[in-house]
Amino acid sequence: MLKNSPDLRVRVAIRRGQELTAQGNLAEALAEFNKALEVSRNSSLAHYRIAEVFYLQRNYQSAANEYRESLNGDGEPRWTEVWAHLGLGKIFDITGQRDRAVNEYRQAIQTSDNTQGAMDEARKYLSTPFEREKKQAGN
């Protein structure tokens, strides 16, 4: 019998949120990620996933705030640190704040965490600013 522990409730809510995000249902995904935060206010992963949704919505200020919350959270899983710095760097590049972007990419590299090629990506954007793909007409 599975125990309905706080940790399990957080993981289930985050998984549901990820599935909803993949389906393009961002409002419901945010609701699920917020359920995870109700159980664990400090969840770096929940804050990171919320940041991703805001980024997809081009709500860069809210995304940046959530990436920072992720960095200030419980640090689990460890890869949230490097990817939060990358996310902040991309936002700063998109919004014309290159110096701040470079600082974030350097912090990403300092983590020495190359989960899913994070450090390679950070090095790439140190030399060439990140540019978000333009939306195609009709999308």
Q: What is the DSSP string of 23-52?
A: TT-HHHHHHHHHHHHHH-TT-HHHHHHHHH
Burial (Cβ within 10 Å: 0-12, 13-18, ≥19) of residue 39: middle
Structural domain spans, the chain: 1-58, 78-128
- CATH code at 1-58: 1.25.40
Amino acid at 133: E
78-135 tens-digit pLDDT: 999 999 999 999 999 999 999 999 999 999 999 999 999 999 999 999 999 999 886 6
Q: What is the pTM of this model?
A: 0.91
**pLDDT confidence bin for 3, thresholds 50/70/90:** low
- Structure-block tokens of residue 136: 């195609």
31-79 tens-digit pLDDT: 999 999 999 999 999 999 999 999 999 999 999 999 999 999 999 999 9
Contacts of 66 (CB under 8 A, 6+ apart): 47, 48, 50, 51, 54
